[in-house]
Amino acid sequence: MHYKSGIELLSICNENNMSIYDVALINECRSSSLSEHQVYEKMLTYFEIMKTSIKKGLDENEKNIKGFMIGGEAKKIKNYYENNKSVCGKTMSKAISYALSVMEVNVSMGRIVACPTAGSCGVLPAVLLTIMEKFSLDEQTVIKGLLTSSAVGIIIGKNASLSGAEGGCQAEIGSASAMAAAAVVEMLGGTPEQALHASAIALKNLMGLVCDPVAGLVEAPCAKRNAIGTSNAMIAAEMALAGIESIIPFDEVVIAMGKVGKMLPVALRETSEGGIATTPTGKKLKKQIFGVK
């Protein structure tokens, strides 16, 4: 079941009448020497950690989930959509609160699943749990989504990058969003082709996003970009499930993202030497936190 690209993955799916998660599951069993049941249990453990991180950020005292710059934002969104007219609607607002929550747990050194990276750890949990709750899906369906997302992540990792230091934030939040978009399509019964269209749309929407963490900490703009990656994944999945196709095929989008990453100056690839990291406020925060310019 070897594949290096989306087109190869789709041909395996079509030739064998399989879903993307079937292929991902077979490959995971082979590479880990685990049984299907063991892989399922392992994925379930990851999903449990994701759910716990969402709950922790929303339940705990702000003090316990605070980094240097963020903390308490997840609860603010929750309070807002529960007590006001939500601009985005309850589903999207809930997803935003979940993404922020996981990032708050991350900055407080809590337990998260770095999927695909710690900086983008809020996107998949937020999307998976929101869709699970909205459509009353069972855990098996969520695990199928998670496996589907892993196949997308593998292709992006092989042909472009999943690292902000290498490809900018498009490679972290963009990839997480593309992975999550495919998961939603799978969870809601879409086809493998639709899953990759959703991934392509999500990745295109965040193409060129630079990595510019204030004070070199994975807090700002990272937390709010997780919220954007989450919303973007759901928007992309909605389009793909409605039958909208990405005009540029998934594989070409991935290659383009990788090329854009290489074109980005070093200052915009996690060095904190550009973007919002070097704004007057960004510099002031760095000085406040570390006492250096």
SS3 for 184? helix
Nearest CA-CA partner of 225 in 238, 201, 197, 206: 206
Nearest CA-CA partner of 145 in 42, 43, 260: 43
- Count of residues in contact with ligand SF4, rule CB under 6 A: 14
Instruction: Tell me how far, at minimum, the Cβ of 205 lies from ligand SF4, in Å.
Output: 15
Residue found under tokens 């902000």: 164
Q: State the Cα–Cα distance between residues 219 and 103, nearest whole angstrom.
A: 8
Instruction: Tell me how far, at minimum, the Cβ of 19 lies from ligand SF4, in Å.
Output: 30
Tokens standing for residue 57: 């950020």
The answer to whether residue 127 forms part of the interface with ligand SF4 (CB under 6 A) is no
Among 19, 97, 106, 120, binds ligand SF4 (CB under 6 A): 120
- CA R_g for the chain: 18
The answer to whether residue 107 forms part of the interface with ligand SF4 (CB under 6 A) is no
The answer to whether residue 9 forms part of the interface with ligand SF4 (CB under 6 A) is no
185 versus 215: smaller Cβ distance to ligand SF4: 215
Q: Assess contact for 172 and 119: CB atoms under 8 A.
A: yes
60 versus 212: smaller Cβ distance to ligand SF4: 212
Q: Assess contact for 260 and 168: CB atoms under 8 A.
A: yes
For residues 132, 33, 153 and 187, what is the CA-based torsion angle, rounded to 10 degrees?
A: -20
Among 270, 282, 285, 286, binds ligand SF4 (CB under 6 A): 270
Q: Assess contact for 122 and 226: CB atoms under 8 A.
A: yes
Among 71, 116, 119, 174, binds ligand SF4 (CB under 6 A): 119
112 versus 211: smaller Cβ distance to ligand SF4: 211
Instruction: Tell me how far, at minimum, the Cβ of 13 lies from ligand SF4, in Å.
Output: 30
Q: Assess contact for 143 and 47: CB atoms under 8 A.
A: yes
19 versus 231: smaller Cβ distance to ligand SF4: 231
The answer to whether residue 251 forms part of the interface with ligand SF4 (CB under 6 A) is no
Instruction: Tell me how far, at minimum, the Cβ of 88 lies from ligand SF4, in Å.
Output: 21
Residue found under tokens 């959509």: 81
Question: Length of the chain in residues, anyone?
Answer: 293
Where helices occur in the chain by DSSP H, the ranges are 6-16, 20-32, 36-59, 73-83, 90-107, 123-134, 139-159, 164-167, 169, 175-187, 192-205, 222-241, 250-263, 280-290
The answer to whether residue 286 forms part of the interface with ligand SF4 (CB under 6 A) is no
Among 25, 115, 218, 253, binds ligand SF4 (CB under 6 A): 218
Among 225, 240, 261, 264, binds ligand SF4 (CB under 6 A): 225
The answer to whether residue 253 forms part of the interface with ligand SF4 (CB under 6 A) is no
Site for ligand SF4 in 139-198 (CB under 6 A): 164, 169, 172-173
Instruction: Tell me how far, at minimum, the Cβ of 177 lies from ligand SF4, in Å.
Output: 11
155 versus 211: smaller Cβ distance to ligand SF4: 211
The answer to whether residue 125 forms part of the interface with ligand SF4 (CB under 6 A) is no
Contacts of 109 (CB under 8 A, 6+ apart): none
Contact residues for ligand SF4, defined by CB under 6 A = 119-120, 164, 169, 172-173, 211-213, 218, 221-222, 225, 270
